[in-house]
């Protein structure tokens, strides 16, 4: 049984993959690093 938070995490992860791809990042990890370094 999937919990809502698990589903949310999966949706967020796949959204980030698409966003990373569209923005030209090689991976979600790169995109996350960029997001985490914002002031």
| Alpha carbons 39 and 35: distance in angstroms, whole number | 9
Looking at residue 39, its pLDDT comes to 66
Looking at residue 29, its pLDDT comes to 87
Looking at residue 38, its pLDDT comes to 67
Q: Where are the domains of the chain?
A: 4-36
Contact 23, 31 (CB under 8 A): yes
Contact 13, 29 (CB under 8 A): no
What tens digit of pLDDT does each residue of 1-39 get? 779 998 899 898 899 899 889 999 888 888 888 888 766
Looking at residue 24, its pLDDT comes to 93
Contact 31, 16 (CB under 8 A): yes
Which residues lie closer than 8 Å to 30 by C-beta, 6 or more apart? 20
Contact 7, 18 (CB under 8 A): no
């Amino acid at each position: 049984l999937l919990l809502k938070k698990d589903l949310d995490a999966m949706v967020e992860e796949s959204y980030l993959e698409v966003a990373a791809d569209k923005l030209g990042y090689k991976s979600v990890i790169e995109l996350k690093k960029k997001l985490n370094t914002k002031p």
